[in-house]
Homo-oligomer: A and B are copies of this chain.
Amino acid sequence: MTAAGTGGTFDVIYALDLLGTAAFAASGALVGIRKRMDLLGVVVLGLVTATGGGVVRDLLMNDTPPFCFKNETYLYLALAVTIIVFLIPRKFERQRKTMLLLDALGLGTFLVIGTSKALAFKLGFMGSVIMGVMTATAGGMIRDMLGNEIPLILQREIYASACIAGGIVLYLLHRAGVAAAVTLPVAALVVIAIRIAAILRGWQLPKGPVI
């Protein structure tokens, strides 16, 4: 998923990738606990939320087995976080602001990883943006489907939309020939900034007329 060790930018991305994986695993585990699932269900929701987006992306790009089966660090990390959340969920619930911040970091990182992988696979504009958005959001959508809810991100909040903005920025900078060491952090910061501003200011997308 990331070529760790090939340079500073990539080491930072790998660290943020693991941080985002942990944050997503915690969010999945909390949904499972709230839905009164048992330990197994909570573990499944944690793992799926943390790795589902990247797995779907790798399936669509035929890079198999998906990233977390090549480097099981992602799976062990998500499993460990899930079990900790299962034992002391209230401590995580109380840290709502920290959780949202870590989630935003994960969102930006996953978007950047997905879109830059799509660019490396020579996908076009729509494909590159979609792969990034999917990497960042498909895990959460599967989490909500398993929990028998309409996925939250389809209904409200600027979440996937922040990813779309970051994906467009990354695609355009890449096309303009800007180096990855610049495009990746810039695009991630676009996602994170929009996401945090949206939370602080309560931004919403419009809905269609009632029909």
| A residues with CB within 8 A of B | 30, 32-42, 44-45, 47, 55, 59-62, 64-66, 69, 72, 75-76, 79, 86-87, 89-90, 93, 121, 123-127, 130, 141, 145-151, 153-156, 160-161, 164, 204-211
Contacts and interface: CB of A to CB of B under 8 A. Distances in A.
Secondary structure class of chain A's binding surface, majority of residues: helix
Given A40-B154, A75-B126, A34 B146 contact: no
18 contacts: A32-B208, A35-B155, A36-B207, A37-B155, A38-B154, A38-B205, A38-B206, A40-B154, A40-B161, A41-B155, A45-B154, A55-B60, A59-B64, A61-B64, A72-B125, A72-B127, A89-B209, A146-B154
A38 B207 contact: yes
Contacts of A40: 153-154, 160-161, 164, 205
Contact of A72 (B41, B61, B126): B126
Contacts of A45: 154
A207 B127 contact: no
